Structure 1
Amino acid sequence: NEWLTTHNEWYEGVGHFTPSTNNGLEATNNVIKKENTLRERLPLSRFKVLAFEIVEKWSKSYERSLKQYSDKQTISLELWTSGYQWVKLNKSILSFSTECDNLVQYYIPAGDGTKITNVDIDVMKKMKWYSFDQYKNKAFNIWCVTLPTDKLKWLDGVCNCPAFFKKFMCKHVVGLSIRLNYCKPPPAAKNIPIGEKRRRGRPTKSKKALLVQ
């Protein structure tokens, strides 16, 4: 009961559109290493001076509006590919109106499932589980995607899957928007065979372990 009553805000996504507990810190840490310390281990005296320089630089960049903010999501080619491949799975979707006239909720099967029923949705909405195994099997077999009725605002869509909680965008929002003709994927997103993932970054030049290079 401790994690359901006393500490019931432990899960990722409890703060909507806020960085994950560690995600925001790691992003800042990466900037410091790339732009300031250059991944060198500095003496304490030198790092203290550098820390003041970093804070001053950041303060001035915010004050002069030199640091630009993005209020819209940018979709990577990898995400476009994942969304397009999700569309090709041709999963069944159930839609429901919401209290807001300009929003629609879509329920879609997760994982390898292709069909869902109203009974499955009711079970998920009640959020009553009699065992952990039941929770694991039922709570994560349906995702709920909410999209604006205005197709020009599809980037404002939300999903309750773990990927969306971390990055504020996921293949379900992208894929459903493609399926509803709210947007079109770039041609490059269609080059990867269904079921395969686009490789990240540049091709590796090093050989596999235990091979002489």
Structure 2
Amino acid sequence: MKAELRRDIEFMQPIKNETIFDAAIKLFQQKWKAKECPPINNFIDYFINEWYMSNKGWFEGFTIGYPSSNNALEATNGTIKSLYTFRERLPVGEFLSVLENDIIHQLSRERNTDDPITSQNAKAFANVPSINLSLWTSTYHWIKEEREVIIMKNNDEKNAFY
């Protein structure tokens, strides 16, 4: 029963629309309250109060357009620690010197297409999304299936298609 409860919670996390999330929470609550098991009822009450009423921001649709984790930030932090500070806590003045002379200089050169040393391997910024043939093909086939599409407003009042 624990595994099923966990699966139900994990199922709700990737929902991309608050209206659908609210409906899923209600169905989740109805399903588990129907079991009429006091320990489960206690957990459901706790879960609804803590993770729906108080801390609702754990599902993907809560902030559309923003990362749902800080993995990229942590990766950058790990790079700074391993390559520049050698995992030592530096005084602010010393860290600012490392930041100015090493980190910014190095990372800026990696993106500079005009630098003769790094231009061959420069990491270019993407200005437009790249859509490959495989994605175009799968999109075409999906459209041909003539599925019913549900259009709902997301948190930013923009249309979201499901």
Q: Scaled by the length of structure 1, what TM-score is found?
A: 0.29
Who wins on radius of gyration, i.e. which is larger? Answer: 2
TM score, norm. by length of structure 2: 0.36
* Structure with more contact order per residue of length (Cα contacts < 8 Å, sep ≥ 6): 1
Answer 1 or 2: which has greater strand percent. 1
**1 or 2, which has the higher helix percentage?**
2
